[in-house]
Amino acid sequence: MRRILVWEGSPVDPIGGILGAVVFGAVLQKARVGSGAHVLEFALSIGVGLADGIVGAGLLWLLMRRLRPGEVLPSLAQLAIVITVLAACDIARDDAGLLAAIIMGLAVVNLKIFDLPERRRISELLVQLIIGLLFISISATITPQPVAEVALPALGLVAALVLLVRPLLAYLSTRGTGLTTGEWCFIGWMDPCGIVAAATASTFSTQLATQGIGGASKILPVTFLVIVATATLYGLTATPVARRLHVVQAPDQNAHPPG
């Protein structure tokens, strides 16, 4: 059960980000050039994003091989490469940079050639700083009025996600895996929304609103409320629910405290 919950985010978040970027690009292209010609424009954007994402992942791999681990410079160089590739993609094709950045992130997280423990500490520090800046910028962008306008529908969406969507997905995806009823119920309970939803929503809503697409201004407030509600709910109830379902793992007596 623990492995399922830990590894669920590794493929699901990037796949969700890619699907979101694909749909986002399709909506923008249709709004710009009309329904007749948007297919070719959309396909070109996807192709540029995929190609540049693969090239960027190759550049990151070369960087990992040449720079020594344990230094600050490699992590800063990684960040510079990602920003450069994203900007180059957006210059070549509008909105292709997001897909390229997602492809590069997917490669770094899942390919063994990037799994270097010496660099994890600095990379984790960069991730924490960027996540903090992202949520601060989102909070500064949202005003109380649009949040109040979508509060009730957003809470209804949270209820549907928590009580219907997540349990159903957990049941369908874990059938035949040998999990106990308690483990299945706990997996069906845990589904906090976080960084990927925040990053994509902040990007999508601004550009969709610029194109005059109806309802775009509500994306960010709804996403913000969903993130806050699910993180609070699961954070406060994870331990009590785990104890209630008898899925709490006994502490390892042979384990040593981290030094």
Amino acid, res. 120: R
Look-up of token digits 């996600």: 161
CA distance 20 to 16: 6
CB atoms closer than 10 angstroms to residue 82: 19
Mean pLDDT of the chain: 75
Mean pLDDT score, 141-154: 84
pLDDT of residue 175: 81
- For the cut 60, the answer to whether the pLDDT of residue 35 exceeds it is no
The residues spanned by each domain of the chain are 1-129, 142-249
CA atoms within 13 A on the CB side of 115: 4
124 vs 140, more confident:
140
- For the cut 70, the answer to whether the pLDDT of residue 29 exceeds it is no
pLDDT of residue 143: 79
pLDDT confidence band for 117 (50 / 70 / 90): low
Beta carbons of 109 and 14 less than 8 angstroms apart: yes
149-205, pLDDT tens digit by residue?
A: 888 988 998 899 888 988 898 888 888 777 888 888 888 888 766 667 776 777 777
- For the cut 60, the answer to whether the pLDDT of residue 251 exceeds it is no
CA distance 38 to 30: 5
**Angle 104-106-111 (CA atoms, 0-180°, nearest 5)?**
100
Inter-axis angle of helices 181-189 and 166-174, nearest 10 = 140
User: What tokens appear for 71 in the block?
Assistant: 């230094």
